[in-house]
Amino acid sequence: MRRTATVVVVSAVLLLGAAAPVFASSGELSITSSTTLTSDHDGNVVIQASGITLDCAGHSIIGDGTADLVGIRADNVTGVTIKNCVVTGFDPHGIYAAGSTGLHVRGNTVLGSAGHAIYLADSPGAVVMGNTIRDSGFGDPYGGYGVVLQRSSGAVITGNTATDNKWAGFALVDASSQTTVSSNTSARNGDGFHVEPAADLTFSRNVARDNYNFGFVVNGVTGGRFVANTVSRNGADGFNIQASGGLTIEANVVKANNNGFYIEATPDILLVANNASDNRALGFWVSSGSDRATLRLNLASNNGDNGIRIYHAADARVVGNTASGNPVGFDFGTAINPTVKGNVARANTWAGFGLFDSTTGGTFVENVANRNASFGFLVDGGPSGNTLEDNRAYGNGEIDALQTDTAGPNTWLHNHFGTQVGF
């Protein structure tokens, strides 16, 4: 049964340009001008005017778990700041806004919300900065984001920490586009960062670690940049990217996940200078429908499965990458017209470069495969119409270059191999 709230309306008098101190009591606290709390408040807060600040000064807004009661609510206002509050024990959300513009949500701690911790809907231009969020979503089957933006574009989300939330630490959903997400930490949530669909995003210098599912879920995103993020020890893939396009993935460190990068149905993706190492499965997996992918200057090392796999994708450009300590360094399965140039495969546990299945029309030029356990270059299982030219392979455990009798006709020109069989 919902409690009967005592309503306290606060119209604080400004003194010398500063918000007047206000003693908060209990029940519903209605704010109509800038307000600074001088004690904890037992109950919810509703902000009802634009251009004002609620400064809790480190005091708590405390809920008792009553259903359908938001901790701090700011609907249909502009230029409001909510800062320095500890918000705990509300069902469904800790801080919620709908239809508001230019909100600043700064330096708050939001704990134990049954739904989402900070939830902004239809609220463009928000700044969400320096908040600490924990334990959201365990009282609501539909809840569980630390910070969620829904149809709220043009936001800046920076310097926040979200841990132990049911679904995701941070989520941008329903076309929350043109947003910058930087220097946040998302740990021990369902997913670290979840985005779908959106456009023109920048994610930089974030940490996604020890999440139960994915580090990053990117679905239906156009024109995003993911730069210098650290993604480690997540239960599923570090980056799971699907049905997107025109993305730049640069200088990320992705370690000890399932697949480092899994990319499907995402054409025109650029992956440059990333480090995918020690993942349980593949380092980079570029899969069906991800045509015209460019992989340049990446490192794939010590992954449980192959380093870089191009699978059922056309016109990939794989240039200047290094793969070491994987079963196969570079794996092409039913790839169409790949361009593979200047890559290094060394000390992989089976083969440096593998052309498999119906890989066709590929150009493999100036690649190096040394000290792999069995093969430098292996062409097996039906590849045809590929050109391998000016490659080098020495010191591999069995054969430096092998084309089996299951392969179709391929062209080998001016290569430098120690041992070669089957040409």
Q: Do 250 and 131 share a domain, yes or no?
A: yes
3-class secondary structure, 298:
coil
Asked, for residue 2, whether it belongs to a domain, the answer is no
- pTM equals 0.93
Let me know whether 264 and 202 are in one domain. yes
Q: Residue for token digits 């089976």? A: 350
pLDDT of residue 25: 67
How far is the C-alpha of 190 from the C-alpha of 182, rounded, in Å?
Answer: 20
Range of the domain at 405: 327-423
Q: Give first-to-last CA distance, the chain, whole Å.
A: 80
CA-atom Rg of the chain in angstroms: 27
Q: pLDDT below 50 — which residues of the chain? A: 1-18, 20-24
Query: Cβ atoms within 10 A of the Cβ of 98, count?
Result: 16
For residue 398, report the phi and psi dihedrals to the nearest 5 degrees.
-115, -65
Per DSSP, 34 falls in state -
Question: How far apart are the C-alpha atoms of 382 and 292, rounded to whole Å?
Answer: 22
The rounded distance, in Å, linking the Cα atoms of 259 and 303 is 9
pLDDT of residue 14: 32
Q: State which H helix or E strand residue 225 sits in.
A: strand 225-227
Q: Clarify whether residues 263 and 377 are in a common domain.
A: no
Q: How many domains does the chain have?
A: 2
Query: How much is the pLDDT for 213?
Result: 98
Taking the CB of residue 23, how many other CB atoms lie within 10 A of it?
Answer: 10
104 and 168 assigned to the same domain: yes
Q: Would you say residue 316 lies in a domain?
A: no
What is the pLDDT at residue 282?
A: 98
290 and 338 housed in the same domain: no
CA distance 341 to 240: 26
Q: pLDDT digit string (tens) for 39-75?
A: 999 999 999 999 999 999 999 999 998 889 999 999 9
Q: For 105-141, what is each residue's pLDDT tens digit?
A: 999 999 999 999 999 999 999 999 999 999 999 888 8
State whether 28 and 130 are in the same domain. yes
Q: Please report the pLDDT score of residue 19 as a whole number.
A: 53
Specify whether 119 is located in the same domain as 77.
yes
Query: Which parts of 137-263 fold into alpha helices (H)?
Result: none
Tell me, what CATH number does 292's domain have? 2.160.20.10
- Cβ atoms of 280 and 237 within 8 Å: the answer is no
Structure tokens at 42: 């037992």
- Say if residue 92 is preceded by a cis peptide, omega within 30 of 0: yes
